[in-house]
Structures are given as C-alpha cells and as structure tokens.
C-alpha cells in the first residue's frame, strides 16, 4: 500500500514511546501519534513518512482505552506542560518503568535489566517548587500572561490556573496580570526593543513554606516604574496565602544589546535575599539550603529527597573513604555523602553553582568536601586522588566515550549514575560494560508526574 501525507489510517495504540507519543502499527509499519495512550483505537493523519516509521496527527479517538481518564486541567492539550494527564497515574508509572526496560534492552543491549518498580511521587499535582510564567501576547495580540504554547515561539497562553505549583501561585499569577494591565505595563516583544515585562519566576519552599517572587523586565522602563513597583510589592503581600509566606520580592532587569554580553541586574525590593529549603532523606540525614533567584535546585523537593535517598543507599552499600561527585551542581548529593565518608571531591562547570555549593557546605558545617570549577573532563586530568566510588549526575546528553575512559582510569570499584534520560543512560551502561562495570540495579524515580520525563539511579560494580 502506497502511503501519502494527509492519509487517514485507523489502528490501535499498543505502547508509549519515551517522549510521550503513542506507538501504533499499520500493516507492519510503526506510527507515532501524540496525545494517545496504550489501548486507544484511533484515526490519525500521516504527517511524516519514512522507510521504517511514520508520524501522524490524532484525528479521532474511535474507542478510548478502558483506563483513559478526563484531564484535570482546562488547558490540557493547549499548554503542552502535562502530556500524560489523560492517563491514570498508576498507568503512567507502569509505562515509564517499561520505557526504562526497553531502553536498556534496545540501546544498552542488556537482557532482563534489573529495573526496580518505579518510585512514584506522593503528590502527583502541586509538586513543583519553581515555575516560570511568561508575559507576551496571544494569537490575537491580546495581553497574555502564562505559558509558552508548544511549537509556537511567540504565542503565550493566558493562564488562570496551573496544577503543577501551589494554588497560591495561581492567585499570584492572576494578581500580577491585573496589576500589570492596571498600570499599562506592556509585555516585551522578542524581536524588538519595545515593552517592559518578560517573565515572573515563583519559587516555593516545601519545608518552610517561603515564597520568592522574581519579576523580570527589559531595561526600557516606563515613567515612574520603580515607584509603581513599590506599590506592586506592597499589594502582592496582601494576596490570601493559606500557609504560604512571601519571603522575598526581586526585580531583575535584563540588559540585552547587540554586541554586548547580556547582563542581569537584580534588586531585592522586599524580604531576605534567599529562600530557605530543608531536605530530609530516608536515613534521617537533613540539610538546609539557601536558594538565590538564579540558583539551580531540583524542582520537586519531596521527590528529590527520594532520588537522593536512593543514590545514598546504593553508594553506601560498602565503606568508602574518597568519593567523586561529578557534575555536582550546587553540591546537594556530595554534601549528603560527606556525612558518611572521609572526603568528597565535587566538580562542576557552572561557577555560580560552585559558589552556591561552597556556601551550602559552610551553612551546614560540612568541611570534608572540596569543589572545583571547570569542564569535568579537563579537571579530572589534574586530579590525583583515588576514589573507590564515583557519583555521576550528567546533563541529558550523558557522558562521552572519552569521559568514560577517564572515569575507568581512576579504578573505582563502584559507580552510582543519576540520569534524567534513560536512552543516554543505557548507551553509557553499554560503554561502561566494556570496562568491566556491570549494572547491579536500576531504580526509576518519577520526578515529574503527568510528563514523559523519567529519572533513574543506576548502580554499577566491577
């Protein structure tokens, strides 16, 4: 049968690909369709035709899967933030575990990989501690404040509620929209120098209930802006907040001119400079962190505790004196390990993250950890210490063969690899196997319910 673009086919969805697309078969050909789930019978219009697969747009759900549910959010399918809300949470976990198994079998060439049951999030809604809300215009050029719409670079979805952060954050979004319209503050346009408002970042502590507001603007300020912003700070403190407390209000001005490096100038208008968060692991360890406006911090605090608990569990199966923490970020994992080993060495490219890591160590009175700034691969060339355990938490792209060879040269008996991408983790597992590192256990952790993202903690041993 000769296929053509626009052709409508009817078939069943049997699985879910990593990335969220449903996978169906038609006359032996694999077809990927967004917004579908296993068990759906659908009609779809072909959009891309390749030799061994096709992509298609959903036209109609002929017969929904028995366990398909109505999405909770009114913006589902428009916003693009929660791709799997039509799937019961238990089903999401089942599918994500299978995706990890598939990645290790298909990419890592490891048969029957030791994948544990995925650790689900206690809160499947209202779990994020950080959100970015953007200012702009909708498709009709009306003022809009909310989320960027998928595959539409400039259009903003005017959002009245979101189930990812707290209900308090939705009240803040609606207050900010009303205040900006009242003051005639215009959104900044991407392609020109016109306009003021760029974004608002909201951070919330899950343990202390503190809230940080960071309003981001261009450098082109209307008359009396700072006076109006003082009024803004006074008024937003009156928004009803249940158990939340606004602890900080920042104004960040972005200076972005051609030929000049971008600058961000922050001004604290109200409260304290940093948000305080407390993390508690399953073994009883507890650390306190001060989070500045630009700092990285895991956006699901309670599941980060689960992730780090599992990392520590695998890493402390045996005694270790020296531990390497590669791609250490703000030092969170390394600081927890430092409570149990003689010395930790952390390496991170981002200089601001390393500064935060050192401050976190000082705040928690941990002195047996050193942090180094620079490209991890290059810094390892200068290190003479010999670790018995290496902890790795790389970007989504994972490692390189060259990096894995360098890691092998240190001769560590154990590796704990924290990954946000099962595909690159499985690929790296195959490379590590060539150096004698065998996968002992794989623990998936669901950090982002209703999305396709999956975190894993993988334990390797020689």
In CATH, what class is 8-63? mainly beta
H-helix or E-strand spanning residue 290: strand 286-291
Which of 74-83, 256-265, 277-286 has the weakest average pLDDT? Answer: 256-265
CA atoms of 388 and 319, how far apart (whole Å): 9
Q: With CA atoms as reference, report the closest residue to 445 among 435, 456, 453.
A: 456
Q: With CA atoms as reference, report the closest residue to 3 among 60, 59, 47, 43.
A: 47
Residue 257 confidence (pLDDT) above 80: no
| Banded model confidence at residue 1, pLDDT cuts 50, 70, 90 | low
pLDDT, mean of residues 390-399? 96
Q: With CA atoms as reference, report the closest residue to 273 among 151, 359, 163.
A: 359
Classify domain 98-122+296-461 by CATH number.
3.40.50.150
- Report the length, in residues, of the chain: 462
Beta strand pairing call for 29-33 and 8-16? unpaired
- Under CATH, which architecture does the 130-277 domain have? Beta Barrel (2.40)
Residue 262 confidence (pLDDT) above 90: no
H-helix or E-strand spanning residue 280: strand 275-280
With beta carbons less than 8 A apart as the criterion, state whether 332 and 285 touch: no
CA atoms of 41 and 406, how far apart (whole Å): 49
Q: Where in the chain is the domain with CATH 3.40.50.150?
A: 98-122+296-461
Instruction: Classify the C-alpha dihedral 355-361-367-372 as positive or negative.
Output: negative
Beta strand pairing call for 263-271 and 245-255? antiparallel
Q: With a threshold of 0.85, does the pTM exceed it? A: yes
Burial label, 90 (beta-carbon count in 10 A; 0-12, 13-18, 19+): exposed
Residue 336 confidence (pLDDT) above 80: yes
* Cα-to-chain-centroid distance, residue 432: 26
Beta bridge mates, 369: 344
Residue 310 confidence (pLDDT) above 90: yes
Question: pLDDT tens digit string along 20-58?
Answer: 899 999 888 899 999 999 999 999 999 999 988 999 999
The pLDDT value given to residue 324: 98
Nearest-10 Cα torsion for 285, 290, 295, 296: 20
Question: pLDDT tens digit string along 161-210?
Answer: 999 999 999 999 999 999 999 999 999 987 766 899 999 999 999 999 99
Which residues are tagged catalytic?
420
The DSSP code for 248 is E
Q: Where in the chain is the domain with CATH 2.40.50.1070?
A: 130-277
């Amino acid at each position: 049968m000769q296929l053509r673009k626009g052709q409508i086919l009817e078939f069943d969805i049997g699985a879910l690909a990593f990335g969220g697309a449903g996978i169906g078969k038609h006359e032996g050909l694999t077809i990927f369709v967004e917004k579908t789930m296993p068990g759906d019978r659908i009609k779809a219009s072909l959009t891309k035709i390749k030799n061994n697969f096709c992509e298609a747009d959903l036209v109609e759900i002929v017969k929904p899967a028995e366990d398909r549910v109505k999405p909770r959010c009114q913006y589902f399918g428009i916003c693009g933030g929660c791709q799997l809300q039509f799937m019961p949470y238990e089903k999401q976990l089942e599918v994500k575990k299978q995706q990890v198994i598939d990645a290790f079998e298909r990419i890592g060439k490891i048969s029957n990989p030791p994948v544990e049951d995925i650790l689900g999030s206690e809160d499947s809604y209202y779990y994020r501690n950080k959100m970015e809300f953007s200012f702009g215009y909708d498709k009709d050029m009306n003022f809009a404040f909310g989320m960027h719409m998928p595959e539409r670079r400039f259009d903003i979805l005017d959002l009245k509620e979101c189930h990812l952060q707290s209900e308090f954050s939705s009240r803040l979004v609606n207050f900010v929209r009303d205040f900006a319209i009242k003051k005639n503050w215009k959104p900044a346009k991407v392609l020109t120098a016109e306009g003021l408002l760029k974004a608002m970042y909201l951070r919330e502590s899950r343990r202390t209930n503190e809230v940080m507001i960071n309003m981001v603007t261009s450098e082109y300020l209307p008359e009396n802006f700072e006076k109006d912003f003082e009024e803004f700070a006074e008024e937003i403190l009156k928004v009803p907040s249940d158990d939340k407390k606004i602890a900080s209000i920042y104004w960040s001005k972005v200076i972005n001119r051609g030929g000049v490096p971008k600058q961000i100038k922050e001004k604290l208008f109200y409260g304290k400079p940093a948000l305080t968060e407390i993390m508690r692991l399953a073994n009883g360890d507890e650390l306190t962190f001060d989070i500045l406006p630009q700092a990285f911090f895991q956006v699901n605090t309670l599941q980060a505790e689960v992730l780090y608990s599992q990392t520590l569990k695998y890493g402390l199966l045996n005694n270790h004196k020296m531990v390497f923490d590669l791609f250490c970020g703000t030092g969170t994992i390394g600081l927890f390990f430092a409570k149990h080993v003689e010395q930790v060495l952390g390496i991170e490219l981002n200089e601001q993250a390393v500064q935060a890591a050192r401050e976190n160590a000082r705040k928690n009175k941990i002195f047996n950890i050193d942090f180094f700034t620079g490209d991890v691969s290059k810094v390892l060339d200068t290190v003479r210490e010999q670790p018995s355990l290496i902890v790795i938490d790389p970007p989504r792209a994972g490692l390189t063969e060259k990096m894995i060879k360098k890691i092998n040269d240190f001769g560590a008996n154990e590796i704990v690899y924290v990954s946000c991408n099962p595909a690159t983790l499985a690929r790296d597992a195959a490379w590590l196997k060539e150096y004698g590192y065998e996968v002992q256990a794989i623990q998936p952790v669901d950090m982002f319910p209703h999305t396709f993202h999956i975190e894993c903690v993988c334990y390797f041993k020689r």
